[in-house]
């Protein structure tokens, strides 16, 4: 079915957990379809038989032998249903066990703390060496073939973390520390969305998932650990001044600058990200400009205020943001 290979569907799998789930889903769909056809066929047969009797002018059938025959048929149908349901429960439990952990992996897991915010995602990579801890926003990179332990947190409302290509959802609930496991078995770039209704901009709370080879992942990791490179040309320098003197600094972090607030997404390497505004827009100069000027037009209700910067300041700011590789 063409719909079923749609990018982003639960059948477009990139990991063993999603794969097992897709297989279970197909099994249930197949058996359900057969059962459905049988129920409709039984109804159609009943109607045909009864119509024939009506045509003959017979009365409704309440003879004891008919009642006995019907009892037998209803019992058989119930028995078959029960057996099918037992199979269903067993297969479901087996799949449930199988997907709790990514299988066949001896590698040391990667640990990522994921915090859902209204309406963006924060990712903190944990490492045994604290100086290797990495914080990023709205973009999750993972190495192919290595299990990832995802710890889910929230400080505001309930969100739900969902990468359909890899695994089912897990909720991020304030006051709870939930854990789920992922493992990508092939490289890919996917859009992941918040699945639990979380207020005005639940619709625009996505993030990009990039599964890549361990070598490329390490390269990315090292580059992200580095402080943002200081601007060199004059316009970008002026842009940095705009950033730290205007409202931007009150919510955002850019490493290596005085901007260190944790209210909004961290922006140290903004220019490397494919999208802005939690997966709402492609990361282009024009979109950035629109977004900064009035985020309320793009994501009504978002916690970022409008920033009516004069064009010269805006240009300088955009020049600066584009240097944040």
Q: Residue 166 has which token pair? A: 């890899």
Determine if residue 279 is left, alpha or beta; phi over 0 gives left, psi from -120 to 50 gives alpha, anything else beta: left
Sole binder of another protein in the list 101, 124, 151, 178 (CB under 8 A) = 178
Would you count residue 249 as binding another protein (CB under 8 A)? no
Would you count residue 215 as binding another protein (CB under 8 A)? no
Would you count residue 167 as binding another protein (CB under 8 A)? yes
Cβ burial, residue 202 (10 Å; 0-12/13-18/19+): middle
Q: How far is the CB of 68 from another protein (least distance, A)?
A: 11
Residues between 295 and 324 that touch another protein (CB under 8 A): 300-301
The Cα 265–Cα 123 span in angstroms is 10
Contacts 24+ apart (CB under 8 A), 246-252: 246/307, 246/309, 246/313, 247/305, 247/307, 248/307, 248/317, 251/304
Nearer to another protein, 72 or 262 (CB): 72
- The residues, any chain, with a CB within 8 Å of residue 296's CB and separated by 6 or more, are 302, 306
Nearer to another protein, 50 or 250 (CB): 50
Sole binder of another protein in the list 109, 126, 151, 171 (CB under 8 A) = 171
Q: How far is the CB of 108 from another protein (least distance, A)?
A: 24
Nearer to another protein, 51 or 186 (CB): 51
Which H or E run contains 296? Answer: helix 295-298
Sole binder of another protein in the list 109, 168, 188, 214 (CB under 8 A) = 168
The Cα 167–Cα 19 span in angstroms is 8
Which among 123-131, 134-142, 186-194, 254-262 is the span making contact with another protein, rule CB under 8 A? Answer: 186-194
Q: What angle do CA 227, 232, 236 make, to 5 degrees?
A: 90
The 55-94 site mask, x for binding another protein (CB under 8 A), equals ---xxxxx---xx--xx-xx--xx--xx--x--xx--xx-
Q: Residue 237 has which token pair? A: 């320098």
Q: How far is the CB of 110 from another protein (least distance, A)?
A: 20
Nearer to another protein, 25 or 293 (CB): 25
- The residues, any chain, with a CB within 8 Å of residue 23's CB and separated by 6 or more, are 95
Residues between 113 and 132 that touch another protein (CB under 8 A): 118
Q: How far is the CB of 291 from another protein (least distance, A)?
A: 15
Sole binder of another protein in the list 149, 202, 237, 290 (CB under 8 A) = 202
Closest CA to 324 of 267, 286, 279, 252: 267
């Amino acid at each position: 079915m063409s719909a079923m290979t749609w990018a982003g569907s639960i059948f477009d799998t990139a990991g063993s957990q999603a794969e097992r789930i897709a297989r279970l889903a197909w099994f249930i769909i197949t058996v359900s379809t057969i059962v459905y056809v049988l129920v409709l066929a039984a109804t159609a047969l009943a109607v045909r038989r009864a119509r024939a009797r009506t045509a003959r002018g017979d009365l409704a059938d309440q003879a004891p032998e008919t009642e006995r025959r019907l009892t037998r048929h209803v019992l058989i149908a119930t028995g078959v249903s029960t057996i099918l349901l037992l199979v269903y429960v067993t297969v479901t439990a087996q799949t449930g066990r199988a997907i709790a952990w990514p299988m066949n992996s001896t590698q040391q897991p990667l640990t990522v703390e994921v915090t859902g915010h209204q309406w963006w995602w924060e990712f903190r990579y944990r490492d045994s060496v604290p100086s290797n801890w990495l914080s990023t926003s709205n973009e999750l990179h993972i190495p192919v073939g290595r299990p990832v332990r995802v710890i889910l947190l929230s400080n505001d409302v309930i969100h739900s973390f969902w990468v359909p290509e890899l695994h089912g959802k897990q909720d991020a609930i304030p006051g709870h520390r939930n854990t789920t496991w992922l493992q990508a078995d092939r490289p890919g770039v996917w859009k992941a969305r918040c699945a639990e209704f979380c207020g005005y901009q639940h619709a625009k709370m996505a993030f990009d998932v990039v599964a890549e080879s361990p070598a490329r992942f390490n390269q990315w990791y090292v580059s992200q650990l580095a402080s943002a490179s200081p601007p060199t040309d004059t316009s970008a320098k002026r842009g940095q001044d705009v950033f730290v003197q205007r409202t931007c600094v009150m919510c955002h972090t850019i490493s290596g600058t005085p901007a260190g607030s944790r209210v909004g997404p961290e922006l140290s390497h903004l220019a490397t990200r494919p999208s802005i505004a939690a997966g709402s827009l492609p990361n282009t100069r024009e979109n950035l400009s629109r977004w900064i000027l009035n985020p309320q037009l793009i994501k009504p209700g978002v916690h970022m205020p409008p920033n009516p910067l004069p064009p010269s300041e805006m240009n300088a700011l955009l020049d600066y943001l584009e240097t944040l590789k």
